[in-house]
A and B are shown apart, each in its own frame.
Chain A
């Protein structure tokens, strides 16, 4: 295991990229620490698979360098990089038994058969498939097949990182949490560097120490689950993380206030003057109050989700959502109060910090 350095890498599938739109992945500079879990999160076409393929070596970046520890692996093929990968659809060798599947990467590397046996048997125990060691892998269920894929990676002692490409896509919903919990245990126990690609926010936030949120080829935020929720650095992060997503409203900002139509919204810090800014506030930090207390709104609809309700309201023609607890009474004439400490300011979709 070693840390991964992405030194100014960028990738374009065109031979002669011109504008920003030609880059499938815009420049990334990150250091990924050894033994940590990273998730690449974003909608389809955001560049997350491109980034994964650059790390695994299936693609060579158009620009920049990739280092594993101190060695430059930019031009190395996948087999030379000592990585393991679990794919979206379980990749198993149909004609082999479960045991032989796990032994395959070791035998390919001419590991002595006695050592193969001990390592595979230990791995069978870890992924809980001892009793199926002699079965043909083809007939196992999807979740067992994915465990074999994972086991084939873990059985090698020399892997730098294990890459996961949406590995739970084909798993039954009720099995998903079981696999998540097993994977989490394995990560805790073995401390392998884990890179997990997904479009599912729950999977990303559940697995990762750090989440890399990608949008249109750009890394828009690199942070912990808490940071993504509380301080989205880009309006897309606010929209994508959380259900319902963050409220984003156009406003002009000056000092400690944001102005939206005829309304003044107080902010927690003092900001540079910006005429075309946006303010973002999560529905969880919007309080429904009696009319006159806060921003005047019209309540369009209340959705009862059992454990909470979503109040969908309209403020100066813009939709604003608020989350309300199951026991809270809703006033007949309502207004909304934003928690000033939780209101973020965005210019050109990017978060701006208040003046010191």
Chain B
């Protein structure tokens, strides 16, 4: 149905437009501006054209960081989505357990990124950390500052610990919205537990899973704080993701031009990949609905 026409609506939207302009559009334009110029400080700029873009796209350092990002996001999705679904399925549907579980699940989400990083940094230390000491007692010398594998495991475990709850909560909301009649019908049809999951729960979770995958992808692709706090991008460059590299370049080395070009490329990659995810997942949905 059409909405009533009223031009006053534009005035109501205006503050948001102004806000978005200041917080997003103007900074983005500034970055674009930097990316096509060169500066040696003193506010003197020279036109550089696509030079920084070419340099970035040809640098091995960029491709290595991008590769690490992709691997990281893939591992995160591969762990958090199935784990999130499994935990959501195991959660109680009624009774006193429901609020208890929901609060427990929400706890990690309330902790700021840098605190999570610090917690795990201390937790994993071999000298004073509980985890590090216990592992050492078992003969496993766990050291995330020197062993690249240990560094990766730390960052991944940390992210899984921090963010699986989000997937759980989304899936749980999806699961409780399935009417009882579906479960009753499945029981009467003699469906197995697996068939109930495969043919009732999973299809009904499709939409929340789309949101969960998108959110977790974008977030994990932009990972910064935790590895920065725990490993600082090391050992070597093994946990240097694009975002960490970007900050090193912009603030550490003060290469504003290449850093700006890199951030635009980074932004475009996230945008493009999110779009691909979105279309693929909604497209398969549409096929199902039209059934042709």
Q: Please determine if A and B sit in direct contact within the complex, based on CB atoms under 8 angstroms apart.
A: yes
Complex Cα spacing A10 to B41, Å? 88
Q: How far is the CB of B206 from chain A (nearest CB, A)?
A: 9
Chain A residues whose C-beta falls within 8 Å of the C-beta of B204 in the assembled complex: 94
Task: Across the interface, name the chain B residue whose C-beta is closest to A86.
Answer: B185
Are B190 and A105 in touch, CB under 8 angstroms?
yes
Chain B residues whose C-beta falls within 8 Å of the C-beta of A85 in the assembled complex: 184-185, 188
Complex Cα spacing A356 to B114, Å? 92
Complex Cα spacing A83 to B191, Å? 14
Chain B residues whose C-beta falls within 8 Å of the C-beta of A152 in the assembled complex: 185, 189
Q: Mark A59-100, 1 if CB is under 8 A from B, else 0.
A: 000000000000000000111000111011101011111000
Are A135 and B291 in touch, CB under 8 angstroms?
yes
Given contacts A108-B192, A138-B291, contact A96 B179 (CB under 8 A): no
Complex Cα spacing A78 to B290, Å? 33
Given contacts A78-B187, A79-B188, A105-B190, contact A136 B289 (CB under 8 A): yes
Chain A residues whose C-beta falls within 8 Å of the C-beta of B289 in the assembled complex: 136, 138-139
Instruction: Let me know if B199 is at the binding interface, CB within 8 A.
Output: yes
Chain A residues whose C-beta falls within 8 Å of the C-beta of B181 in the assembled complex: 87-89, 91
Are A91 and B185 in touch, CB under 8 angstroms?
yes
Complex Cα spacing A322 to B288, Å? 56
Given contacts A136-B288, A138-B289, contact A84 B188 (CB under 8 A): yes
Instruction: Let me know if A149 is at the binding interface, CB within 8 A.
Output: yes
Chain A residues whose C-beta falls within 8 Å of the C-beta of B200 in the assembled complex: 93
Are A108 and B190 in touch, CB under 8 angstroms?
yes
Q: Mark B193-206, 1 if CB is under 8 A from A, else 0.
A: 00100011001100
Q: How far is the CB of A98 from chain B (nearest CB, A)?
A: 9
Complex Cα spacing A56 to B185, Å? 11
Are B187 and A77 in touch, CB under 8 angstroms?
yes
Q: How far is the CB of B208 from chain A (nearest CB, A)?
A: 15
Complex Cα spacing A109 to B179, Å? 24
Contact of A105 among B179, B189, B192 (CB under 8 A): B189
Are B190 and A91 in touch, CB under 8 angstroms?
no
Task: Across the interface, name the chain B residue whose C-beta is closest to A53.
Answer: B184
Are A108 and B195 in touch, CB under 8 angstroms?
yes
Contact of A78 among B184, B288, B291 (CB under 8 A): B184
Instruction: Let me know if B182 is at the binding interface, CB within 8 A.
Output: yes
Complex Cα spacing A152 to B191, Å? 12
Chain B residues whose C-beta falls within 8 Å of the C-beta of A79 in the assembled complex: 187-188, 190
Chain B residues whose C-beta falls within 8 Å of the C-beta of A108 in the assembled complex: 189-192, 195
Chain B residues whose C-beta falls within 8 Å of the C-beta of A87 in the assembled complex: 181, 184-185
Q: How far is the CB of A128 from chain B (nearest CB, A)?
A: 18
Complex Cα spacing A87 to B185, Å? 8
Chain A residues whose C-beta falls within 8 Å of the C-beta of B292 in the assembled complex: 135
- B 33-53 contacts with A by CB, 8 A: none
Given contacts A139-B289, A139-B291, contact A56 B199 (CB under 8 A): no
Are B288 and A89 in touch, CB under 8 angstroms?
no
Chain B residues whose C-beta falls within 8 Å of the C-beta of A138 in the assembled complex: 288-289, 291
Given contacts A138-B291, A139-B289, A139-B290, contact A95 B203 (CB under 8 A): yes
Complex Cα spacing A88 to B181, Å? 9
Q: Mark A116-148, 1 if CB is under 8 A from B, else 0.
A: 000000000000000000011111000000000
Q: How far is the CB of B11 from chain A (nearest CB, A)?
A: 42
Chain A residues whose C-beta falls within 8 Å of the C-beta of B191 in the assembled complex: 104, 108
Q: How far is the CB of B142 from chain A (nearest CB, A)?
A: 44
Chain A residues whose C-beta falls within 8 Å of the C-beta of B192 in the assembled complex: 108
Chain B residues whose C-beta falls within 8 Å of the C-beta of A88 in the assembled complex: 181
Complex Cα spacing A316 to B199, Å? 64
Complex Cα spacing A250 to B288, Å? 62
Contact of A104 among B182, B189, B291 (CB under 8 A): B189
3 smallest CB-CB distances across A and B, nearest first, come from: A136-B291, A108-B190, A87-B181
A residues apposed to B, CB below 8 Å: 56, 58, 77-79, 83-85, 87-89, 91, 93-97, 104-105, 108-109, 135-139, 149, 152
What are 6 A-B residue pairs whose CB atoms fall within 8 Å in the complex? A79-B188, A91-B181, A91-B185, A108-B195, A137-B291, A149-B185
Q: A78-B187, A89-B179, A94-B203 are in contact. List 10 more A-B contacts (CB 8 A).
A: A78-B188, A85-B185, A93-B200, A96-B199, A104-B189, A108-B190, A135-B291, A136-B289, A139-B291, A152-B189
